[in-house]
Each structure stands twice: as C-alpha cells, then as structure tokens.
Chains A and B, each alone.
Chain A
C-alpha cells in the first residue's frame, strides 16, 4: 500500500464518488420525476428505490477502481462469510456479481469467448468464464476491477467455486482461503459445525497476515450482527410479496439483490432495504401491484437468466403472470434466523452451511412447497441452468412432484445464467406462451 494510492483512494471515496453519485442521482431523479406518473404497461409505476440502488452500486464499483494499493482487496464468492473480512477494511469484489452485471449489459458472451480461446471449456460455468475472460482481457463494463490481495471461496454454493478460485489463485499469485462447508444430507452433523468454526479462526488468521492488522472482536460482532440484520431486512422486503397484488416482481428482486450480496454487513445496505421496504409497504397499503393486472402468481427456481430478465418479465407480465418468490432471492434471507449474538461462531457456521444450495433435494422440495404456500403460487418456473449443476439436478423430479402431487403447474426452462448462446429466445418465448395458455 502506498501513501499516494491511499490518498487518492480517500479522495475518491470521500469526495469524487459522492459527487459523481449526487450528479447521477440528480439526473436520475429528474428523469424519474418525469416518468413517475406515466403509465408503464404492463408493469406498475416505477420504484424510486431503483435510483437509490443505482447510486449504491455506482459508488461501490467506482471507488473499487482505485482500491488496490490503497486498501486490502478481497475477491470472494457470494456465499462466503464476508462479515469476517469487514473488520480488516477490505474492499470486497464479488466476481459472481460482476459476471451477472456483464451478462445484464450483454458483455458476457465476448468475455466467455475470450476465456474459451484461452482453453477454458465451454461447458464450464459461465460466471467463471466471464470472470476469466474479464481478468485476462482487462475488459469490464465497470471501468476497472481492483486486483485482489486475498481470495476467499466457500463451497456452500458449489464445488465449481473451488476450482474456479484455484485458477484465480494461480493467475494472481495471491493467497486463497478455501472455506469448506460440507454438503448437508438431512439435518447436518455436529462435526460439520466444529469444522466450520475452526475455519473461521483460520480465515481470521489469514486476514491478519494479509492485512497486517489484528482482529477487532468488537468490529466483528458489529458487522456480523449488522450482516444478520441486513439479511432479515431483505427477508422482510421479500415477504411483502405475500400480498395480493405483490408490490414487486421477482425479476425486480433479482436487481435489488445487489446490496445483500455485495454489501452485507454495511450500514448502507441496511438503510437501502429499509427504504425499499417502506416504498413497497406504501404500495401495498394503496393496493398497487408490480404488474398492472396480476392474475396468476408464480415461483422461480434457480439463478436468473440475467441477459433475458427484461424480455421474460415483460412476456409474463403481459399475460398477467407475476413472479412473487424465488428460491434464489430467498437464499440470502433463509438462514438469518440461525444467528445468535451470544454464540457468534457456532451460529454463523449454521447460517453459512444451511443455505438451499448446500442441502439435499428433500429440503429443496419442502422449501419450494412452503414458498408456494406462503406466497400463494399458482405455478412455478424451474430454470434448468446449464451453468449451475447443483442448483439444476433434481428439477425434473421436482417439476413432477409440483405438477402431479400438488397441482402447481410447473414448467422447465432450459437456459443459462450468463451465456446467451445456451438459450434460444424464440423457443423460450414459445414455451412461455404455451405454459401461460395452460392456465386459461
């Protein structure tokens, strides 16, 4: 870390970024006011929270450009225990979040091709390929992504993340901590918790080594507690969609998920979700729905098809179909109740290991049925994601159970979360239309 980099970073973070955000926010607010009361069919009125979200993400990525050399930088997976890193002052980069952004901005394909040209097989997860392509070509829609001083991967989302980060560790030649959360069949075992708790301490030790700072236990408790509150606040936001009509669609939630993934444990994350909650609550009290004519309610399973969110949400909304819940958005809220401030480590071990992707299919089936009940779903769309095997295996059987045993009309949509070459929009749209017709 050099003083000049630190100075530059402080200047950017405290002066330039807020200024940029203010200007952008002013412009957005103006255009928002202009559009606010205009009809937006087939959707309901626009949310002001969207502007707040843009500000938050803009600031995050903008300050990130100047982070390396000034503050320690860590690249971590979405399921990693980020709260542990906060007390050390890391700027956190989420390659998955970045890859999703690339997909939304239609940059993922070229980055994937770049990685494939370097020998990475096309059957690998498109997040990983997008990330490799971006690392190797230096291309990104966010200007610049700071280089890591530390890599942390957590196996609670997949084993893919393990191999992916092994590759990154060689490319950057920086330490990698593998946070291993054994897959849970049934209810999990006590020795899993012991193993995970021991790893919390190992990770802290590694952070101390990389940053040269000692852990401040108070800070850790603060961020862990805050992280948990963020998750709960996110859960409350999602729960508002139990109302009829739902004030937000799951496709919106895919966009609003950014802060809970990338800023968990920070006060701005919490205040954002409080703002969003209030705005949605207001909609609920006035009976305003996220789509104009909510006739049927659906559940979404698996990651979003990032590059097709807009097309799909429009197609469904036009038919009067609203997605009101998803196993994916729920994943950042579902384990928050495990947290116990009196036993931070053991309770966090449960919080991190008991997410849907780290548990068996019996659990997933029960969870989907519970969501369908709680959110009064008439149907479900299971996105069979070529890039995500752990999330996709079992969907054929799940669809069968939902259809036959519970009368919940279910379709499988074959696609990919990031690579548009693995999705045929024509066929997808046709299937969606046929699916909607079965409700008539």
Chain B
C-alpha cells in the first residue's frame, strides 16, 4: 500500500490524525501516545521545485527545498499539523518561514533539543524534559493529552521497534535481500504506525539465513538520508553492500540503552534521547563519534566508508575531514559524495562510487 492510501486508511479505520514531521530528532513516542500518525518528510524528490525556490535561496539544502516544494504542491493538505524539530539553521528558519509568512495554514509545532551537550549534562536534561512538557502543552488543544499509561505503552512499542532495527542492522549479512529492499523496511517506520512497522520488521527477520550469505564487499554508509534510494542500488551494482549504517534517518535515532523501567515517562524519553549514538546535528563530540563509527566499521569488517551527504548540509560537512582522517589512519579509505536530492542519481556520481569500490577490490 502506498503512503497516501495508508494515511487515508489510518484516518478512516483507526481515527488517527496525521502530523507531518521534519527531520531528524523528535519524540515519536509522544505522537503514538496521542494516537497520532507521524509522517516524516526527508525531502523526497519529484515535486516541482520552482515555487519553493521563490522562498529559499539556492544555497539552502535539497531537503528544505523539497519539503517546501512538497507542501506547496498541496501534498500536505491532508495532515493536521506540522512538527518541526530544531535540526539545523535551515530547518530552523523553514519552521519560521512556513507559519510566519503564511505558506501553510497548518499549525506548526516547534521542538527544540539541546545542542552540543553530553548525556550527563544536568542543565541539558532539564531543558529537554521541559521541552517535552512544552510539546505536550502545544499539542493538547489539537490532539488531547496522553495519560501516563498511554505514554508508557508508546515508549514500550518504540523501544521494541528500535531493538528490531538494531537486530536487523547487526545481521545484515544474513539476508539475501538487496540494500534497497532492506532499507525500505528499516525506513518504513518513517510513516507506518509503530505496530505495523514492528510486524514488517519481524517478517523480514524471519527470512534470515542461518549463515551469512552476503558475498559482496562490506562497506559502511553514513550521511543524513539515503535519498534518492538509487544510491543503494548503485552500491550493490558496484559489488558492495551496506554492512554498517550511520544514516541520521536510521541508526542515529536509535536509543542504544533502555531507560530505567520505573522512570516517569518524560524522564524515560529524556534518557532515550541522550542514549542515541550521537549525530552531527546534535553537536556530538567529533573524535568520540568518529571512533564509535570506526569501531562499528571494524566489527563488520568494512573495507571502506561512504559518506553520502546532502549538498549544503553544514553540520554533516563539518565533521567529514576529521572523520575521514581518523578512518584513513585506521587503514579504511573513504569516499565523500554529495546529493542534491534530485530524482536521478547522476552518471558521474555512479562513476565515483564504482571507482571507489574498484579501488577497494584491488589486491593489496
């Protein structure tokens, strides 16, 4: 079922309202607890960009352009609101542009999180929890207020989904499926109701082989989002596969530690936020992050690192040279590529990727 039909069905049969969600970090659990379907928008290509380009400069990233193009094409008319996490300078401004200059009549809920703070920062935890409370207040007039039990239940479901995601990613080599199909399952959580996503992941897990079956060269993939998904086909066609993942859309949002089961739900959500692997957009420590990635890459025997960034994405691009340097010193070559989130994957990009994989295949 396609996304549009799914949303319509959720509304009709389950009475679920829909909120459009900007990337990257936000408490999806809160929406679930409110029986609201969150539909994330990562700047899908394919909508006419011209209307958006009268509001955004050409040096603003493709995600922001495509989100605005999507909204201006009327594709978000069915949603009941827009949730805008404070991800970066560009999305921060888009979250102001939309309501302040009346580019949408939907209510916009802004959610900010601490930047550049370590998990043990008391002030940052306090702020995050206060923001969660603030978000509940802002959502209440539109969607009601969830009970503590509803929040706890939603947290439980999302923890289960996170664990399944981790399990799938850990065992990628045991699946015969190609990367695109694999990532489609992982990314379905961007719009599916959490229980439907859990069922989908469980189904894929059942197809796991007893032994590793993936014969292609293992590489690590990093970046904001694997879009257009053709990048994954290109990796497979060139003779490699995504053995380790560090996309912001996928791994960087998984809580790596379960919260204390006795915690109050907002404390649990705060714990889960600070238990994420870290992300360039959260201002995670550079060396710490790179070393974590390196450890993961080594554990999966990755031969190379592909950093697939969205052009003009500053937070991500700042981390690149040092990350590449740390990988290089560990003997793992890396390739930096940029996408403008156009519908097609360019021939030149594909040549660079193929050349990189050929380089990894050389006898040492």
Contact (A360, B311) CB under 8 Å given A121-B320, A182-B112, A182-B127: no
Contact present for B97 and A119 (CB under 8 Å): no
Looking at the complex, which one of B57, B122, B283, B318 makes contact with A198 (CB distance below 8 Å)? B122
> Which of A178, A185, A365, A395 is most buried by chain B, counting CB atoms within 10 A of its CB?
A185
**A118 smallest CB distance to B (angstroms):** 6
Residues of B within 8 A of A365 (CB): 100
**B99 smallest CB distance to A (angstroms):** 9
Contact present for B124 and A394 (CB under 8 Å): no
Q: Which of A375-432 contact B (CB under 8 A)?
A: 384, 386, 389-390, 392-397, 401, 414
B27 interfacial by beta-carbon distance below 8 Å: no
Annotate A113-130 by CB proximity to B: 1 below 8 A, 0 otherwise. 000001111011100100
B354 interfacial by beta-carbon distance below 8 Å: no
Q: How far is the CA of A118 from the CA of B322 in the complex (A)?
A: 10
Contact present for B286 and A167 (CB under 8 Å): yes
Residues of A within 8 A of B321 (CB): 118-120, 167
Contact present for B101 and A397 (CB under 8 Å): yes
Contact (A123, B59) CB under 8 Å given A160-B314, A167-B318, A198-B123: yes
Looking at the complex, which one of A169, A183, A390 makes contact with B286 (CB distance below 8 Å)? A169
Annotate A340-361 by CB proximity to B: 1 below 8 A, 0 otherwise. 0000000000000000000011
> Which of A124, A128, A191, A393 is most buried by chain B, counting CB atoms within 10 A of its CB?
A393
Residues of B within 8 A of A164 (CB): 318
Contact (A183, B92) CB under 8 Å given A124-B317, A191-B127: yes
Contact present for B317 and A121 (CB under 8 Å): yes
Contact present for A386 and B114 (CB under 8 Å): no
Looking at the complex, which one of A155, A182, A198, A389 makes contact with B314 (CB distance below 8 Å)? A389
Do most interface residues of chain B lie in helix, strand or loop, or is the interface mixed?
A: helix
Q: How far is the CA of A120 from the CA of B322 in the complex (A)?
A: 9
Q: Which of B66-108 contact A (CB under 8 A)?
A: 86, 88-90, 92-97, 100-101
Q: How far is the CA of A183 from the CA of B317 in the complex (A)?
A: 22
Looking at the complex, which one of B54, B86, B283 makes contact with A166 (CB distance below 8 Å)? B283
Looking at the complex, which one of A166, A185, A202, A392 makes contact with B110 (CB distance below 8 Å)? A185
Residues of B within 8 A of A194 (CB): 126-127, 130
- How many residues from A make CB contacts under 8 Å with B? 50
Contact present for A360 and B100 (CB under 8 Å): yes
Contact present for B93 and A361 (CB under 8 Å): yes
Contact present for B89 and A170 (CB under 8 Å): no
**B310 smallest CB distance to A (angstroms):** 11
A167: nearest chain-B partner, CB-CB? B318
B285 interfacial by beta-carbon distance below 8 Å: yes
Contact present for B314 and A362 (CB under 8 Å): no
Contact present for B123 and A199 (CB under 8 Å): yes
A110 interfacial by beta-carbon distance below 8 Å: no
Residues of A within 8 A of B287 (CB): 170
Looking at the complex, which one of A166, A191, A390 makes contact with B93 (CB distance below 8 Å)? A390
**B5 smallest CB distance to A (angstroms):** 34
B356 interfacial by beta-carbon distance below 8 Å: no
Q: Which of B234-291 contact A (CB under 8 A)?
A: 280-281, 283, 285-287
Q: Which of B289-342 contact A (CB under 8 A)?
A: 311-312, 314-315, 317-322, 324-325, 336, 338
Residues of B within 8 A of A128 (CB): 318
Q: Which of A119-177 contact B (CB under 8 A)?
A: 119-121, 123-125, 128, 153, 155, 158-160, 162-164, 166-167, 169-170, 176
Contact present for B59 and A195 (CB under 8 Å): no
Contact present for A393 and B100 (CB under 8 Å): no
**A183 smallest CB distance to B (angstroms):** 5
Contact (A166, B122) CB under 8 Å given A191-B131, A393-B56: no
A181: nearest chain-B partner, CB-CB? B115
Contact present for B312 and A191 (CB under 8 Å): no
Contact (A159, B115) CB under 8 Å given A198-B126, A361-B101, A396-B57: yes
> Which of A159, A191, A195, A198 is most buried by chain B, counting CB atoms within 10 A of its CB?
A159
B117 interfacial by beta-carbon distance below 8 Å: yes
Residues of B within 8 A of A414 (CB): 57
Contact present for B123 and A195 (CB under 8 Å): yes
**A381 smallest CB distance to B (angstroms):** 15
Contact present for B324 and A119 (CB under 8 Å): yes
Q: How far is the CA of A393 from the CA of B93 in the complex (A)?
A: 6
Residues of B within 8 A of A189 (CB): 130, 134
In order of increasing CB-CB distance, the 9 nearest A-B pairs are: A178-B116, A119-B321, A393-B93, A198-B123, A163-B318, A191-B130, A360-B96, A195-B127, A390-B89
Residues of A at the B interface (CB closer than 8 Å) are: 118-121, 123-125, 128, 153, 155, 158-160, 162-164, 166-167, 169-170, 176, 178, 180, 182-183, 185, 189, 191-192, 194-195, 198-199, 202, 360-362, 365, 384, 386, 389-390, 392-397, 401, 414
Knowing that A159-B283, A194-B126 are A-B contacts, what are 9 other residue pairs whose CB atoms are under 8 Å apart, sorted by A's residue number?
A158-B89, A159-B115, A159-B314, A163-B280, A166-B286, A182-B114, A183-B86, A183-B92, A195-B127
Pairs A–B under 8 Å by Cβ, sample size 27: A118-B321, A120-B318, A123-B317, A124-B314, A160-B314, A160-B318, A162-B283, A163-B280, A163-B314, A166-B286, A166-B318, A167-B319, A169-B285, A170-B286, A178-B115, A180-B115, A180-B124, A180-B127, A185-B96, A191-B134, A386-B57, A390-B92, A393-B89, A393-B97, A394-B100, A397-B55, A401-B101
